[in-house]
Amino acid sequence: MKPTLPEAKPRRRAILSGEGNLFTRIRQFLTECWAELKLVQRPTKQEVISYSMAVLIVILASAAYLAVLDLILARIFALFR
């Protein structure tokens, strides 16, 4: 016989007093989101340019590495033909 597990009770979050109804909570959420967005620091134009250049350099370096690796492996496999 297999031992049976006790039935799990569904977990529900307790509604705290003072939370209000659904629309009050949605409004509070949106208000807090807007307050957080006001704290965000946007990058300067120079930072955007330098970060973009760094990304482009990494992409070009990766492409060059893969091209060289492809060339080497193509020649190695050509020897076994």
Judged by DSSP in three states, 19 sits in: coil
Model pLDDT for residues 24-40, shown as the tens digit of each residue: 989 999 999 999 999 99
Model pLDDT for residues 41-55, shown as the tens digit of each residue: 999 999 999 999 999
Judged by DSSP in three states, 36 sits in: helix
pTM value is 0.54
Residue located via tokens 């973009």: 52
- Give yes or no for a contact between 70 and 63, defined as CB atoms under 8 angstroms apart: no
Contacts for 74-81: CB closer than 8 Å, 24+ residues apart: none
Assess whether pLDDT exceeds 60 at residue 63.
yes
Look up residue 39 and give its two tokens.
């704290």
Assess whether pLDDT exceeds 90 at residue 14.
no
